[in-house]
Amino acid sequence: MERTPPSNIEALRALQEQMDAAVQAFATDQHPVSDLLQQMVSDVERAMQEPLEIIPVCHHSPSSALHVAKRLSERPPKVIFMELCEDLRGSLDGLRDCRLPVALQAFAQTADAFPKGWSPLSVVAPLSEFSAEFQAIAYALEHPGTELVFVDRAVDYVFQWMPQQEDELEKHLIKEEEHDQGTPKAPGEEDLSDVPDHGAAIGLQMGNVEPTFDVFLGFLLKNARVRHFTEWWDQYVEQAVLAADYATYRYVLSLVGSLLRRLGRKDTDRENDLRRERYMWTRMKEHLKKTGIAPSDAIYLCGAVHAVSDVPEFGTRTDAVWEIPKRTPTKWLYGLVPSSYIAIEHQFHHPAGTVAIAETTWEKGIEALGVRPWKLGKTKSSAATSATKTKGKPAIVPATPPASGTADTARVLGFFTKPPLLHAADEEQLLKWSVDIVTLARDNGYLTSTADAIAIYQTSILLANLRNRQHPSPYDFEDAAITCLEKDRQVRKRNVPKLCQLLLGGNRTGKVGFSALPPLAQDVYTRLKPLGINLEATTIQRALIDFKKDPHLLPCSDLLWMLHYLTQGHPVLRPIMGERKLGHVPVQESWDVSIGKYQESIIRLGYEGVNVEFVVEKRLKTESFGPNAKTVTALKAAEDSILFLKSTRLTEELGDRAVDLLRNEMSAQDAPKIVERVRRLVHYYRATPSGLPKWLKDFVATGYSHYSMLLPKGFEDRGTRPAEVASMLCFVFDFEPQALALGCQRSQLEIAIRQAGPVTNDPAKIGLLWASELLLKLRDIDSIRAFLDQTLDNPLMLPVFPEYVSGFLLALAFAPVMGRVVVELLSKAFAKLPEEILYPWLPGLLLSLRPYAEDLLPRLLKDVNGLFPKDTKALGKWQPPWDKKASEAATPASASSTPGANPEVTPAQDTKAAVTPEEQAVMTLLQSAPVTAQSLAALLSA
């Protein structure tokens, strides 16, 4: 125990005396305060005397990282215990290949043990280079002789120890806003939609010391005159211990940890802390016992708050262990996801720029103190990871300064609280910042000049003086820049606070290396290689594919479409040109690919399966076999399976499911969508050599009889919209030939229509009904015409006329022959309807015509062309054919010679206008055999 020399105890005693003196001077009621101080001192003493070396750390604290790095090179331990979830340890091996910051992730798609609203469960633990945990991890991974053990509670307990309520997780994620109220929101906070974040994951960080007890935090900040805890930490702890010696560092951090532990934690958090500490000590003791390593050969890295724990299990001198509760049966998956500074700040509610500032301090510290940070050597090839570990070692060792040298430096540095080395570096840095921010601001539209640089420099120093700092901190600099540069409005996209963050390091996005990726993501990378784009780049990559020139790129396109389907509109993949439709043969495609930037979305897919095809299949199945599945979703899944997977077996399975669902679906709500899809599928399969597959035939047959059955109810039920009834009819009439071939009977439909007759009241539905009756020859056109004319003549019935017309319009979808009738009705409507009825109806009419724009309207227009005169001259003499027909019925001889008139009237026409002898002869022949003539006419008209 050479590292606890008596002088340290002396120092501690001196500190205690000083504290007591302070109590005497300031406290009104000194007992609680001195008790507290007593406790704090004993806390620290206990931590210091523990044979297992405890290194208290703080998250994102460069000084912690520096001290840990230095300590590890001075005194290589046999085992390092760390305050991180024990089950995250497994994913560390992939870390070599990653660019930091990345996050360790644990993920569970579903968890029955927890409230339903919680799933999917996700936990992330971000790692950045300048954190103590990464230094330890890097050291341990480079030195196979040192074991690295995570001892904190498994991820499962994170959720287990939360109150098991539906909204708890949400509350936890949001955190009360009160917390942030004191700090002014930076107006230019980065739009999070633009950067990869951790999603709805619970963040874990090692050495989280931030006080959660608001009253205490508020008091602390107010008295220290800082805005947020990180600033407080930076000024009062970080800067002070950065260049201090190791012993001082440990004392100070333990002391601060003790203070925060005793005053700064909420009761619920403290409870959780206690559980975790008991857990950690139990695990450590278990490990030591198992491996037989002496406690003095181990190092325990934990948050300052936990270093001074007072749980009964604390310390290797007692044998007390805690009986660890059971995990839930939740199945956890582990991996690495890329992270970014902004995501980290967002996750842990740090003010913007904190991480970048920490990085700056870290770099400054490395340079000024001569500490060599631990770095992970890159793997040469993913296969030879273990070999590289051992072989790479000699190459890395020279990078570490010899242990004795570092110790010397540490001792020397211990004499200075603020080495002059740092001061010069600070000064240089501030000057550089002042100049750079002005340039940066000018580039962003601010009218700035050198005078501003001078003003910023001066203001920073004044602010630092005012805030009792030896040298302007980055926070001071930022304030100064805002004061001097920000005028009444922001010029362009970025404002000065945002620019300052950019200047101080900005955001950095991590990247998970190939070997650390889950198999699915690796597979994606390999398979997209032929595209020849840089998948690692953080910018958007444009992939241009010409299938005529490079037919071998077709599989890439398939994969892209599958990923696009799986990520569902996520900006990771964006098709610019090209489509994937049934029967479509791609010629050219172009894609915007940003897998480098949104790596996480691909990695997340990796939790669902080993390759993309498998995940697509799984998704399709969950979609169509889920409890909420509907016919239309199953049909969609079946269609997608044709598009993406080309697996007949799966399509068959999904199709059968769709048939099942249809059989049990008693509403016609989805009928329009179903008709559309089935029509597409039938068209597609007709073009294939094998023709319609069995499931689709089944579907058509089932649909025919199912919808026939539903028809009467559809006509009667007020909740079923006419459009839905029309879709059902559409299905029935469209697929009638197939259905009849498959053994359905038309009589079923006829019965259904007959039944519907008496129960239909809705005018629009009556229109539909008559149209189908017309098709089935259950009604003739004249009776319809007579009824509608009557409607037009009766002023009381006039207002419902448009609705009848709407019904006939809908019928167009399945009975194109209705075109003429519709044209007639529309003409009548425009001719006779009074304006107050016509005008309100028009928008609705246009809307109901719009869906037919592609196929039916041209046909309708053709009919119109046939019926109406071609030029204005003819208009004068023109008489609508229907009027003509009516007058014809009265006096058959008075018909004029309108071209394109009904073939039915041709004989009558001939009687009047016959001039040639041939025609005369034909006429005589027809007249002599009236039965033949009439049946001929009927045939021609049909």
Which residues bind to another protein, rule: CB under 8 A?
Answer: 26, 181-182, 184, 222-225, 227, 447, 449, 451, 455, 458-459, 462-463, 465-468, 479-480, 482-484, 486-489
Measured from the CB atom, is 480 or 815 closer to another protein? 480
Give one DSSP letter per residue of 852-910, joined into a string.
GTTTHHHHHHHHHHHHS-SSHHHHHH---HHHHHHHHHH-GGG----TT--GGGHHHHH
Smaller CB separation from another protein, 107 or 457 = 457
Residue closer to another protein by CB (options 181, 865) is 181
Shortest Å distance, C-beta 462 to another protein: 4
Q: Which is nearer to another protein, 21 or 786 (CB)?
A: 21
Question: Closest separation between CB of residue 214 and another protein, Å?
Answer: 11
Task: Give least dist CB 484 to another protein, A.
Answer: 6
Tokens read off for 369 = 């103190």
* Whether the Cβ atoms of residue 371 and residue 362 lie closer than 8 Å to each other: no
The distance of closest approach from Cβ of residue 238 to another protein in the complex, given in angstroms and rounded to an integer, is: 19
Closer to another protein by CB, 473 or 909: give it: 473
CA atoms within 13 A on the CB side of 419: 21
Are 55 and 250 in contact by the 8 Å Cβ rule? The answer is: yes
In this structure, the number of other CB atoms found within 10 A of the CB of residue 145 comes to 10
Q: Token pair for residue 831?
A: 């001719």
CB of 500 to another protein, least distance (A): 14
Q: With respect to another protein, which residue has the nearer C-beta, 145 or 445?
A: 445
Nearer to another protein by Cβ, of 175 and 487: the residue is 487
Minimal distance, residue 141 CB to another protein, in Å: 42
In the complex, least distance from residue 474 CB atom to another protein, rounded to whole angstroms: 14
Instruction: Tell the smallest beta-carbon distance from residue 730 to another protein (Å).
Output: 42
Measured CA distances, 717 to 663, 669, 759 (Å): 19, 12, 9
Residue closer to another protein (CB basis): 223 or 628:
223
Q: Which of 389, 474, 488 lies closest to 446 in space, CA to CA?
A: 488
Q: Position of tokens 């599989």?
A: 555
Instruction: State the Cα angle at 838 between 834 and 843, rounded to 5°.
Output: 170
Instruction: Return all residues near 652 (Cβ < 8 A) that are at least 6 apart.
Output: 693, 694, 695
Query: Cα-flanking dihedrals φ and ψ of residue 337, to 5°?
Result: -125, 150
128 with 104: CB under 8 angstroms? Answer: no
Taking the complex as a whole, the smallest distance from the CB of residue 463 to another protein amounts, in Å, to: 5
* Residue 202: strand, helix, or coil: strand
Identify which of residues 484 and 533 has a Cβ nearer to another protein in the complex.
484
Give the nearest distance from C-beta 181 to another protein in angstroms: 5
Query: How are beta strands 121-127 and 102-108 bridged, if at all?
Result: antiparallel
Q: How many whole angstroms separate alpha carbon 381 and alpha carbon 388? A: 9
- Residues 445, 449, 453, 454, CA torsion sign: negative
Give 322-355 as a DSSP string.
--PPPPPSPPPEEEEEE-BHHHHHHHTTPPTTHH
660 torsion bin: left (phi>0), alpha (psi -120 to 50), beta (else)? alpha
**C-beta of 26 vs 415, nearer to another protein:** 26
Spatial separation of the C-alpha atoms in residues 805 and 661, rounded to whole Å: 34
Using the minimum distance from each CB to another protein, give the nearer residue, 448 or 507: 448
Which of 122, 139, 251 lies closest to 199 in space, CA to CA? 122
CB of 458 to another protein, least distance (A): 6
Q: Is the Cβ of residue 225 or residue 391 nearer to another protein in the bound state?
A: 225
The CB-of-22 to another protein minimum distance in angstroms stands at 11
Rounded-to-integer distance, Cα 719 and Cα 192, Å: 44
